[in-house]
Structures are given as structure tokens and as C-alpha cells.
Amino acid sequence: MAHEEDTPKQQSGQEKPVVRRDKVVVTKVTSQELSIIKSNAEQCGMTRSDFIRARSLGYKPRQRLSDTELDGLRQLATCRTDMVNFANALHGLTDNEKIKLFRHQPTMLDWYEKVAYVTNSVTDFLQSAQTVNSYPAGTTNEEAKEEGA
């Protein structure tokens, strides 16, 4: 096989073979195409070479999450923790204590406000994740639309 020649024999104690890439493929692109390639590779957290190799071998690299998306995931994790803590607290109560708690209006209003905040945060994040290619309302700048700002 052709690719076996490119892979040196396994070094002692190493499980994976070392892949030596010594073949070069050259192609010409326009400055605009190069800019797009650089941008796409950067968005995926890859070098241009790795990005082009992945795409040419039929892979579709995923873009890294933006800082906003990462923040949304962190908030979602915090919301989940809050909900688990609440559920655990309820499990520790007897049925009579639960009835007494749920009949206490100030406690229920406080609980509702906290739960509404959590569910609204989850809903906001899920909606933003489903509409990643949209632009903020009120944006009239055509450049901002294309940049996703």
C-alpha cells in the first residue's frame, strides 16, 4: 500500500504509528480565496494546511464555539446545577413538608422567580444556538450582516 511507505515503523513503546507527511501539493488561489481559507481555518482552530487536508479528504471541520456561545454553555451548565440542587432539596423532604412548602405563597413566588430565570436563560440560549447565522435586530450595516456581528 502507498501510505504504508509514508508511515515509519512504530517506535518502541508507542502505540500509534508516526505519520510523516513529506509530499507537497501546491495550488494557486486568488487573494480572496486565500482570505476565505485563512478565515475558515482560523474559525475551526486549525492551520491552513490541516484545514485544506481535512476538506480535501472529505471531512467537514466544525467551527469553534464563539465566546458568546461558550458563555451560553457555561450559563446552561449553571442552570442545570441549580435545577439539580433544587430537585435534590425536594427529595430530602417528607410528603407533609412538601405540601407545607408548596402551600406557602411567599416561598412559591420566590421559587417561581428563580425557576423562570433559569428556564428563560435556557430558552434564550437554545434559540440563539438555532439561529447562529442571524444578525441582531436593528442592524442596517450590510457588512455587519455578512460578518455575523
Asked, for residue 13, whether it belongs to a domain, the answer is: no
pTM of the model: 0.41
pLDDT, tens digit (0-9, with 9 covering 90-100), for 6-39:
445 445 556 778 888 889 899 999 999 999 999 9
**What does 10-24 look like in DSSP terms, one character per residue?**
PPTT-SSPPP-----
pLDDT, tens digit (0-9, with 9 covering 90-100), for 88-130:
888 888 989 888 888 888 888 888 887 787 778 777 777 766 6
Asked whether residue 5 carries a pLDDT value surpassing 80, the answer given is no
Question: Which residue segment(s) compose the domain that 110 sits in?
Answer: 67-134+141-147
- CA distance linking residue 135 with residue 7, whole number of Å: 47
Asked, for residue 60, whether it belongs to a domain, the answer is: yes
Asked, for residue 14, whether it belongs to a domain, the answer is: no
Asked, for residue 74, whether it belongs to a domain, the answer is: yes
Same domain, yes or no, for 60 and 71? no
Count of domains observed in the chain: 2
Q: Which residues contact 17 (CB under 8 A, 6 or more apart)?
A: 7, 8, 9, 10
